[in-house]
Structure 1
């Protein structure tokens, strides 16, 4: 065969990444903001990107590849609407193609997807539900699997797992829907045994949605009712006197111990009207919050925060990424408050900022997470 008859080698195809965001939880707008950050930063030379939004009603729709409408800022709360063509997701191991369906038209093939990046926060996304759907179809995805996602979303069972693994957690009590309806007085008595102030939280929500800081027992009932608007299961945590320290965790690609960032400290500035690190301080009032990373901690304490963050990640069987929030008390103890298996992931969120301070840029972090997902086997592992 002559040289000009040699078959031409085809250029390698880029992995196709479906960026999935929005969803049915109260953190819908935060998820959209996270997607805006990733769409701006993902390496377009390395990946083909397919943005897919989930409406508050649960409809999957094809979205424009434009981060601007998804930006969360004061005066603009982004939301996925049902205006786009409906996306049909594979439901068996033999299918790989996404389909799009417009009203009155025959569904068309959008193409195969190599990995899903589920940028969903809260129930119906971060809690193992979408992870289970993707597992059924043998589709690779970024982040933790079903069990770790579900346990990490439920602050009650999260703390049970941590305590069972011998990790230190603060005092708390849980109020289920049945307990609240059956014996409200007993539930309030259990709260009264905690150290005040207490924090009343929806058990399966994030981004500080529905949280109330309560200084008096007589105000607990109203706080529980406020939390129940987001989740009928409520957790009440004793106030811990100390500093709030966070640590970012990233799975090691070679199966070694999880990588941990320098610990960071969140400081809510006085004079901004925020009694704690609430939703507005996190996402709408950047001047109210300062992140110090590395946090100004004794060397041994910083090492202990990183050790506990890695241990918490492994105790739940997490994969990909997580952010572990701790307290450093006045007595010198480090307690784990909670873990987030899909933490806030905008460029200004604490998780990427801690990695930035530890030498890993935002685009590099996105690439590392996608590569972890692409090399992870599907099914039981």
Structure 2
């Protein structure tokens, strides 16, 4: 393809959530892998306070180094996405744009956008907010729509929808802000019947940020307060003793569907759980096994449940469905559904598809092509 005929892809990353650094690392992997002969790429970063800025096309500047993630930095320019024609403009200010006295001194037209790949994890990106913006701007984008993204981001709503579809999601309790403010002890008292261990989580966060494993009632208050540091809504889940199995799904609402990847398994050290440190810092302490060693009937059941969850939540494009498989009784429990799973070089989603014969660039092509094939407006 020539320079003028390549579709233009806006790679959006960073964002306002606690997963800002993870999003930057995901963008680094995408920028390295995308086929530049087929796609024209525009990297766009969102700062921690929500400013849109043009970012250098430099994967190395965005990836984890020495256990530390990277951040999007703001300057005197801002990017705006204009509705109707789905085009970008860059505004340059004579001072810090956050200064009310700052004036625009120049405007640059950056041209059209054919498709957006939003690599934002967590609130203000993976939760339907930015998807709504793209819908308003009439621009196609990779991944789930507004409703699906919002429900899947909220662990309580995800479990509610999947349970209504007859899918085992384990036992849990939700603590809302009003419940905690009105009667914190009452909230703690209704958690105890779930049994121990319990896992206390921010309801709308990912990458295991703010999660605590609790082994006794005395630890609950501290764990709830830690989760509330990241989200005023807190979910508390009963522990499930099982193997951690993950399933990657590709699919569209219509006929486009690639199905499920070979299953992957997370092996963590005894007595620990798959937290932020193990995911992104001390990665050598865990095992990522793909394909997972499972009896074929069990593997088929997990893949089938992954598709059922994908459809129940009305997902589009991609999702990673995480399970617990209990070997003692054969129970299969959906833990959560990630509508924008990590795409770092060590992430399970691209690794599972690679084992299935779809390498990183081909996986990105499939996602971008599916997004470009969608109708605009209500689907």
The TM-score with structure 1 as length reference comes to 0.94
1:62 maps to which residue?
54
Match of 1:129 in 2: 129
Q: Is the 8 A contact 1:143 1:341 kept in 2?
A: yes
Partner of 1:342: 340
Moved more, 290-299 or 131-140: 290-299
The question of 1:53 aligning with 2:45 is answered yes
Q: Do the aligned partners of residues 138 and 144 (structure 1) sit closer, same or farther apart at CA in structure 2, a change above 3 Å counting?
A: same
CA-to-partner distance for each residue in 1:217-238, whole Å, 9 max, x for gaps? 1100000000000000000000
Question: Which of 74, 79, 86 pairs up with 2:71?
Answer: 79
Aligned to 2:295: 298
Say if 2:369 is the partner of 1:377: no
Give the Cα–Cα distance (whole angstroms) in 1 for the partners of residues 64 and 53 of structure 2.
20
Give the drift of 1:97: 1.8
Contact 1:327 1:336 in 2 (8 A): yes
Distance between the aligned counterparts of 1:344 and 1:326, measured in 2? 17
SS in 2 for 1:338: strand
Corresponding residue number in structure 2 for 1:361: 359
CA offsets per residue over residues 262-288 of structure 1, 9 Å max, x none? 111100135xxx711000100112211
Match for 1:315 among 312, 316, 321?
312
Question: After superposition, where does 1:209-248 map in structure 2 within 5 Å?
Answer: 209-248=209-248
Using the size of structure 2 for normalisation, the TM-score is 0.94
Residue in 1 aligned with 2:81?
89
Equivalent pair of 2:67/2:280 in contact (CA under 8 Å): no
Task: For residue 235 of structure 1, give the secondary structure of its aligned residue in structure 2.
Answer: strand
**Of 263, 278, 283, which residue of structure 2 is paired with 1:281?**
278
Aligned match for 1:98, one of 84, 88, 94: 88
Q: Secondary structure at the match of 2:194?
A: coil
Partner of 1:4: none
Over the aligned positions, Cα root-mean-square deviation in angstroms equals 1.5
Contact 2:253 2:314 in 1 (8 A): no
- Residue 256 of structure 1 deviates from its aligned partner by 5.6
Give the distance between the partners of 1:285 and 1:361, measured in 2 at CA.
25
In 2 relative to 1, CA 158–75 (structure 1 residues): closer, same or farther, beyond 3 Å?
closer
SS at match of 2:93: coil
Query: Displacement of 1:76 after TM fit?
Result: 3.1
| Deviation, structure 1 residue 14 | 0.5
How far apart, CA to CA, are the structure 2 residues paired with 1:189 and 1:297?
38
Whether contact under 8 Å (2:153, 2:204) holds in the other structure is yes
**What is the alpha-carbon distance in structure 2 between the residues aligned to residue 84 and residue 160 of structure 1?**
45
**Does the CA-based 8 Å contact 1:250-1:260 persist in structure 2?**
yes
User: What is the distance in 1 between the residues matched to 2:283 and 2:154?
Assistant: 28
Task: Give structure 2 stretches of 5+ with no counterpart.
Answer: 95-104
Secondary structure in 2 matching 1:106: strand
- Contact conserved, 1:228 with 1:234, CA < 8 A, in 2? yes
> How far has the Cα of 1:347 moved from its partner?
2.2
Cα deviation for residue 26 of structure 1 reads 0.1
Structure 1 gap ranges (5+) = 1-9
